[in-house]
């Protein structure tokens, strides 16, 4: 069994996720929803905290993805196999 699944390609670079990223994604959402955002912005609804947490987690993972794509593009430009 392959622990990763391909979600697509960006600039010809295969993008795949390991199943453990789903657990990390859920833990980030839970942490932000349960403690960070309620302490930072008290008085909002639970749904608002959850939506804020999901958006923050997505933006965090997209920033990691863009960072790693940058590494791949530079490596390919320098003739390295990616």
Closest CA to 7 of 65, 60, 53, 73: 65
- String of b and e for 28-61 (b: at least 16 CB within 10 Å)? bbeebbeeebeeeeeeeeeeebbebbeebbeeee
Q: Which residues are catalytic?
A: 68
């Amino acid at each position: 069994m392959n622990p990763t699944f391909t979600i697509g390609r960006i600039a010809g670079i295969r993008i795949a996720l390991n199943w453990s990223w789903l657990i990390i994604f859920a833990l980030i959402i839970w942490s932000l929803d349960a403690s960070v955002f309620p302490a930072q912005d008290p008085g909002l609804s639970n749904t608002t905290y959850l939506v804020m947490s999901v958006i923050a987690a997505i933006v965090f993972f997209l920033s990691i993805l863009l960072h790693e794509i940058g590494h791949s593009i530079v490596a390919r430009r320098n003739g390295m196999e990616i």
